[in-house]
């Protein structure tokens, strides 16, 4: 099997695109005249909330499981991973589609919707306390209890996971090129860096002038610190409504790619994420999870600060839409009071 520390290239994204062609959704691009008028730029939104299992994670998860079953070993007999939710669902579903059992290590405060979906896809869930335990250590202990042939697939720092996520960027750029649109800026959420690093491989190959901007929660700005200091910064688990970005550090692979391809990483507040949830719900008729609103919040922030010129073509990636409706309504209602 490919070494997880083997840096992926655009060729790997192209290969992943072929593997995913028959199983993943080619998600739509949406626009909003209201948003364009508000910001004075042309916004193109890539809707991975309409992806299979509700988030971009299906792409990387399926691609990685596919390679685990096909690479030059005997082939995976069992899949193991850890995740706060979306990668958990992706691996559970991808494993099910490949006829493999999957064990998923999830925090004991994982969103109920994501937990239920993971179990619904056949995942065997093992819980841990994300504020007191290190999930890497938990994973090592759990793997010792699983059968020989168990393959661990991390949420982001893996060649085939990154390549799969890169198909989001490949689709987006190619679809816009068919409309004769070249993006000046592309705003992407950052947790562990799998999505933005994969997208950057495609964007830099197909649209090298596009500036790629990472956006993470203000409470957990490890990626911003890492980019500024030139080394991976570790932090405590951040407290934020963006549960998909509650990571403690970037990966070795994702950081190496980001250093080369990402222009900068900025931060936004939870309040700005809720504003994005409201906008997507009220004006674009979409339910988007808090993490999925990072890109829009980042664009709004940079436009407000004058860093994005009037008339620019701007891309925003919605990473997913898996949010408990009760929590969604509570956040929206609180913003209206």
Burial state string for 182-198 with b = 16 or more CB within 10 A and e = fewer than 16: ebbbbbbbbbbbbbbbb
**Catalytic pick from 46, 57, 114, 159?**
57
- Is residue 262 within 8 A of residue 212, CB to CB? The reply is yes
- The owner of tokens 């948003």 is 35
Confirm if 322 and 89 have CB atoms less than 8 A apart.
Answer: yes
- Indicate the pairing of strand 264-268 with strand 211-217: parallel
Give residue for tokens 């959704």: 25
Annotation says 197 is catalytic? no
Among residues 17, 46, 83, 84, the one annotated as catalytic is: 84
Nearest to 48 by CA among 214, 166, 204, 145: 166
DSSP state of 286: -
- Enter the DSSP assignment of 55: B
Distance CA 315, CA 59 (A): 19
Q: Which 8-state DSSP code applies to residue 99?
A: T
- For residues 316 and 286, give the distance between their C-alpha atoms in angstroms, rounded to a whole number: 14
319 is catalytic: no
* Inter-residue contact 110 to 99 (CB < 8 Å): no
Active site residues: 57, 84
């Amino acid at each position: 099997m490919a070494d997880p520390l083997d840096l992926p290239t655009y060729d790997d994204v192209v290969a992943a695109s072929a593997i995913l062609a028959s199983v993943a959704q080619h998600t739509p691009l949406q626009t909003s005249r209201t948003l364009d008028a508000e910001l004075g730029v042309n916004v193109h939104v890539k809707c991975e909330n309409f992806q299979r299992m509700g988030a971009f994670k299906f792409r990387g998860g399926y691609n990685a499981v596919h390679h685990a079953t096909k690479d030059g070993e005997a082939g995976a007999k069992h899949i193991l991973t850890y995740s706060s939710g979306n990668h958990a669902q992706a691996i559970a579903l991808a494993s099910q589609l490949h006829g493999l059992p999957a064990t998923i290590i999830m925090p004991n405060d994982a969103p109920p919707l994501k937990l239920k979906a993971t179990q619904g896809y056949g995942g065997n869930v093992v819980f841990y306390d994300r504020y007191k335990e290190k999930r890497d250590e938990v994973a090592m202990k759990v793997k010792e209890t699983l059968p020989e042939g168990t393959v661990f697939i991390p949420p982001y720092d893996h060649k085939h996971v990154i390549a799969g996520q890169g198909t989001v960027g490949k689709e987006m750029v190619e679809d816009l090129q068919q409309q004769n649109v070249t993006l000046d800026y592309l705003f992407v959420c950052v947790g562990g860096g799998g999505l933005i690093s994969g997208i950057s491989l495609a964007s830099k190959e197909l649209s090298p002038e596009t500036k790629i901007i990472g956006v993470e929660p203000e409470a957990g700005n490890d990626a911003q610190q890492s980019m500024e200091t030139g080394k991976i910064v570790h932090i405590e688990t951040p407290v934020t409504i963006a549960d998909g970005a509650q990571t403690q550090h970037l990966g070795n692979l994702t950081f190496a790619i980001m250093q080369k391809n990402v222009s900068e990483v900025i931060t936004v507040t939870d309040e700005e994420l809720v504003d994005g949830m409201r906008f997507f719900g009220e004006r674009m008729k979409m339910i988007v999870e808090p993490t999925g609103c990072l890109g829009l919040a980042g664009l709004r922030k940079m436009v407000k600060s004058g860093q994005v010129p009037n008339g620019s073509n701007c891309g925003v990636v919605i990473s997913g839409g898996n949010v408990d409706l009760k929590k969604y309504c509570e956040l929206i209602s609180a913003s209206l009071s």
